Amino acid sequence: MFSFLNKDQVTGEVAEQALDESKIPAHIAIIMDGNGRWAQQRHLPRIAGHKQGMNTVKTVAKAASHLGVKVLTLYAFSTENWKRPTAEVNYLMKLPVDFFSTFVPDLVKNNIRVKVMGYTDQLPASTQQAVHQAIADTAHCTGMVLNFALNYGGRAEIVTAVHGLAQQVKNGELEPDDIDDELISDRLMTADLDELRDPDLLIRTSGELRLSNFMLWQVAYSEFVFTEQHWPDFDQTSLESAIYEYQQRHRRFGGLAPKKS
Ligand code: FPP
């Protein structure tokens, strides 16, 4: 089930409804789209959109943490984003360096722990260094996990998991019949999130209605909320609107709605 929030819904009455604090989605995943269009509308270079998008990450991470979200996963760079012009890729690779150099003290103050999923060994050394430092600096934090998908692709993640399982079968360590949902989940990049590994709510900004290779396995039963807002315009109110929308849904996980008494 998905729905589409238009600008009025995000800024208007939906946001004014009180959220049910007992039904805050534990894991929210966001496809942060529309940085380029945001910049284009202002006659700015695309990288200005990414810079503003980075500031939105700060705002939304703090807002999610205050609302009681346990995991916030953000699609920051896909395995397909290397196809962009070199200057833009270079800028996107520099963003984590800027982000963590200015924001780690705030993350620690908010008890937020950084995690990264993706093929990080293919990132430039300076990006890897920034990411590893942020993970180390926030390792003691026990609050929300801020999970960046960096050089991440959902299909590649599944292929890697299947390779690992096939190798174990070949080595005689595993029977093909032992492979089930749980074992595959255990081999994905979200495995260490344990019972929080699958997003409850997936948000995509900027009006596109597709998954773009994001968490293909993990979103099997996620609720989807799409909004027209470009990522740089997304804010705490937008997040609350998406959560409000989520709270109106009846999740059945393939079963039936409970009978009314
Ligand atoms: C999609 O918008 C956005 C990206 C590919 C990059 C997202 C990155 C950020 C929001 C900053 C991340 C910050 C950190 C700290 C890593 P687009 O460029 O495809 O927009 P368009 O579809 O309008 O062109």
- Does the pLDDT of residue 116 top 50, yes or no? yes
pTM of the model: 0.93
Question: Count of alpha carbons within 13 Å of 245, Cβ hemisphere only?
Answer: 24
What is the rounded average pLDDT of the residues 222-229?
Answer: 98
Residue nearest to atom 10 of ligand 1 (CA): 53
Q: Looking at residue 256, what is its pLDDT?
A: 81
Residue nearest to atom 11 of ligand 1 (CA): 54
**Ligand 1 pocket member 32 (CB < 6 A):** yes
- Does the pLDDT of residue 2 top 70, yes or no? no
Angle at 73 between CA 167 and CA 83, to 5 degrees: 70
Q: Looking at residue 212, what is its pLDDT?
A: 98
**Ligand 1 pocket member 94 (CB < 6 A):** no
What is the rounded average pLDDT of the residues 150-172?
Answer: 98
- Does the pLDDT of residue 36 top 70, yes or no? yes
* Closest to 148 (Cα-Cα) out of 40, 60, 43: 60
| Cβ-proximal residues to 151 (8 Å cutoff; 6+ apart), any chain | 77, 78, 79, 118, 119, 120, 122, 123
Provide the annotated active-site residues. 33, 81
* Closest to 232 (Cα-Cα) out of 32, 4, 8: 32
- Does the pLDDT of residue 258 top 80, yes or no? no
What is the rounded average pLDDT of the residues 157-181?
Answer: 98
- Does the pLDDT of residue 208 top 90, yes or no? yes
What is the rounded average pLDDT of the residues 68-83?
Answer: 98
